[in-house]
Structure 1
Amino acid sequence: MLAKLATSDKIVEILEDNRTVSDISVEEKKQVISELENFQSYLENFTFLHTMNIVSKPSKYIFRNQGFNSDYDIMERSWMKDEYLDNKQDSIITDIHNDIYTGKKSFSIVNFIYSPNDGEFLGAAILDVYLDDLINSLESDFYMGDLNTYIQLDDNTYYSKNGIIKEIDNSSSSHVKKLYNPIGNESDIYFQFNKKSIAYYKEMKRINGIRIIIFSFAGFIFVLALIRMIKVAFRPVIKSLDKLKVLLSNLDKNNIDLENIDEFKQLELISNSLSKSFDKKIQTLIYYDELTKLPNRKMLHLLCSEMIKCNSEFALIFIDLNRFKYINDVFGHSAGDELLINFSDRLQKVLDEKGIVTRYSGDEFIIIYHSYEGNEELQKFYNEKLLAEFNEPIEFNNTKIIVEFSAGVAVYPKDAETFNDLIDKSDFMMYSAKENLKNQKLVFFNDDMYSNIIKIENIKEQLKSAVDNHEFVLYYQPIVNEDKIVKKVEALIRWNNKELGFVSPMDFIPYAEESGEIVKIGYWIIEEVFKNLSEFKNGQENIQISINVSPIQLMEFYFAENVKEIANKYNVDLSQICFEITESVVLEENIIVYDNIHLLDKFGAKLALDDFGTGYASFSYLKKYNLNILKIDKIFIDGGKNIDYKIVNNIKNIAHLLDMKTVIEGVETEEQFNTLSEIGCDYFQGYYFSKPVPLDELKKALSCDRTGTGDNF
């Protein structure tokens, strides 16, 4: 029941939006509270079950059937443990704690809610149980004697209706029955029956029988009334037993015969069965996925650990569905659930006795392939059996779809010797397979590939703190005119990380763009250049500084305004700045990019198209974007052939027609420089003049270069 609430499409949708309560419409609030009230109605027969709640983890609010509160952080609750999320547990029963709103002793049944798209922890559905209510429910309907109920707490004290006690009276006058961990949170429950009171009720029952015989002729009407009174007296007991029978049948299918057994014996049998059924139900919740009925992550860990303990060779196949988010978005979460169920059924059918299918999280499945006989055998099974099964479409939501997935493999003990390493390595291989969606190839673990992936992940992680740790530095490469006079310099970033050492821009820029860290890095470069702009002079003449701008940064809505703000901060004339953009930017025809370029031009900055000739940009784009400088890539002069120089000459001529200056990159020899000078290129850049150098070295060379010819580089 709680799981159904936790998987409600509407509730998952609201939690996944990560909105605050104030952003949720009144209608949506009503829908959530209505769902809570509907589920609450199922609890009416169980007085010890209290409130149902829906909690958002990112937005820190709680929906209760009485309303909602906007300040509830599930991560700060005393019963919340990191291991629940680390293990991606679906449901738990909490330790006994004080309720945040009433202060009462309670425990909660919690169904965690994860995003069906990426497995992110969104929140939880919570059912609260107050100990007072549970105790009252157990005691109030029991009239065959005096019953006291005690619930064991963490400190080995016992909670009862009369408060907390240190020990239970187990004298000859009482009988104590212990239920071992019936709730599932390591708390035992003790029933203390008063023997004298039970004997008294039994004796009263016997005396009443004698009286019926003695006075049967004299008081037939009275006997009927007495029988009626006895039935009324025992009605609560029968009612209580009936409720326990219903609860027992809901927990588990059982064949307990309760006919022709007195109520006290029934109670004893039911209590024993409840203990076993609770345990079985909780084991199912802990070790099996509620949606697909497959073993879950915790059971996967147990199964693999057992095989590792026995040193049994096996392969772990990590499978992730492709485009599952698209299916959820188009067809809805219920349809997505149906697809996952059908997919898991197909997997189990194919594996049969060869392995065990488990659901890891969201749209991720892991197969324990215990029939492993080598990579060739597994590859053959994967191609001929597993892939063949999914060549046929899966039916769901009255439609059919071909399901594609990516798969990676790690083998014990060849590739890894621990469960966590097997998971990590098969996971990495799966993501490597995802890079080629057209070919559902099974990617086996490879040391070189894995080392490269680890290196990339480490680069991504270290990038997050590189700016704050002052790990970046700028180098500057001079750009000269036909007289070899330094007129411009290009700012080039360098990264020296204490763990990775020197990392080439080619090795980290793509991942900085992928992760979004390039935005922070880009603003650092701009601020660093603007801060030191007054240092860039050749004699009395200001030198223009070129800054490379990532396409990601140009897609920021307020990029140009932010540049202007930084320029004002350091009193910088933007005519001294040239922003270099790539061909891919102008090909996108993005309106935000276009507006940013237009504003930078309006603010006075110069704009250059970098590495012209390596992509597909045409001269029509140069005209549309009103660029100032065309940087011709070094590929046109590397060969040193006449045809290459003719191409450079034609590019230069068209650039001049568009009122653009040209910079030729990669000039490394005097012969190249002389030929390009004769062609009429405007500016030159390359190792023939200078490699990129630190600011201090650049300043020193410029100050010593009294002739302005660049000979000191």
Structure 2
Amino acid sequence: MNSWVEWINRQTLANKFKWANLVTSGSVILASTLFLVSIQVYFFTISVVAQTQASATVVSENLSAALVFDDRAAAGDILAALRALPDVQSAAAFDRQGRLFASIGAPAGMAPFGMRSRPDYVLSLHEVVIVHPVQVRQQRLGTVVVRSSLSSVYHQLALYLGLAIPVMFALMAVAHLVLSRLQRFVTDPINELSKASEQVSRLGDYSIRARVPASEDVGALALTFNNMLDRIEKRERELESEIAERRRVEARLDRLAHFDPVTHLHNRHFFNERLEAAVLRSREQNRRAVLMFIDLDNFKAVNDTLGHDVGDDLLRLVARQLAAELRHEDMIARIGGDEFAILLEHVHDVDMALAVAAKCLATLARPILIGSHDIRIGASIGISMCPDDTRDMHTLLKYADTAMYYAKNNGKNAYRLFTPDMQDDAEKRFVLDNNLRRALERNEFLLHYQPQVDLHSGAIIGAEALIRWRHPELGLISPADFIPLAEESGLIVPIGAWVLREACRELGRWHAAGHPVRMAINLSGRQLQEPGMVASVLSILDEAGIEAQAIVLELTESMLMDASSATIECLHLLKRAGIELALDDFGTGYSSMSYLKTLPIGSLKIDRSFVRDLPGDAEDAAITKAIIAMARSLRMNVVAEGIETEEQGRFLRENGCDKAQGYFYGRPLPGVQMRQLLDQARSASVV
């Protein structure tokens, strides 16, 4: 049974409809035929029964006389007349006692029938037996039994079935054809839906639609199906658009994750991955890999002066120029700000790496034209190698950074190869940096003051405040060691503020003691960038009770080279407040000359490197004379520093220098001793 159910479930809807049509129409036609056959059998049988009853009635009436007179021959003749009837098989007459009186066709030993008072019959599948009493005047004389065969009925039934069965099959065929045509109105739309579903599933094309005429059932289903496909197609388009957008976003995120958006070079993240792999290959294959850190010199000045757009253009051009100097297998990346990194693999000797560094410096030394701006920059390059210096990626990075720091702090526009001494110095710098952060809190800083004299009168007219750091364990630390660290870390701002406040307080004490000298105080470029710088200086002056004209703020050439418009405005505000500005270490830079006409500079300080060999060195003498002459033409005062001999002082005085300072006139002294020196100078002048 289950197998039949499974077989039916596997059939198509059309086949199910066909079988349903055949079963239904066949059942109806068969039932109708059986009903008609039954009717015909009934009527045929009733006809035979009626005919036999009629014959039995006639015979019973005719046999009465024969029975009365006991005339068996006459009774036989009467029964013989029944032979004319085709259905009658036998007939028998029985007397009153039930004995056979006469018969035709009766089987031998036929059982007698009892006396019957009225007609009766027995119907079986093969025959009908009629029992009829023979009576005269209500007196029963005997019984007549007539047997008729039903073969004529079956013969008629066979003829009827022979006609009915073909008609039945014909009707079934007609019904099947009609119902099949009718079923197509149902199955064709469903087949169309099925076909459309199969194509959508097979092709994945949601633009396919089911073409089904509108109706209240299947048409509504098709409309719903097509509407569903509309929504799926719309969602599919949205998904495709969303996926495409997501891929674009992922590609963009991937590019942002691995590429610098300005220069389109690889970024720090991707470079570190490549560097790690290169270090691993270098260890496994024992081949040299070289790392270069490149930091552009004076890039900040370009950015602040010409704007970030020009700065970005400059970075792009620099990236393109550096990449042009490399081999195809080499890698360059921008790792942040104005810093680049280059990775060289399969380097046979150190000279090859140095040659690449030299080419990079030569390329960056050439002028770069951006719009109407002719820009000149340089670079500082630090080089470390694997496995020569280290086999660890992070250490290799640190070594290259350390070497780059040395290149930048030794004149810039140079490259340096890492050496172990650099790491020792770096560790010392690290120790100093950590201690420097607590030096202010521990009051470890102090000021010394170096006298400044008038070269014509020899009188002390001022002093320069010089910071010192007395560490409880490391001893006295030179400003040359800790000032660069303070500049890098930003600590120069609070340290510079402390120096300005402490120097002004000491100057206030000198003025109170009757010494109207001036104080020269060094100013950091980071201090000038602080918001409210001018107001802070004026507040310190007011707190110390001294006039603005009593101090000179000394600036370096590098500060002016990197000065932004905000910094220049700050300098003008200080000048308008009455504070004199001096340019320290003049002549050691290479681009400050153009600032002298536009910046509010009141004094130039000739660097000790030009004074050291005076008057014997003709070149230094010529440079010193030129600086003095230029300052005079710009109505600026000239201060020479580092004077250690009387001959140096005489040369400077004879060539028009105004003021001087150096060991020849006095070493830097603590505030108390400087005050004593001023007292002694005043006493000597009185005498």
With normalisation by structure 2, the TM-score equals: 0.45
**Bigger-Rg structure (1/2):** 2
Which structure features the higher share of helix residues?
Answer: 2
With normalisation by structure 1, the TM-score equals: 0.44
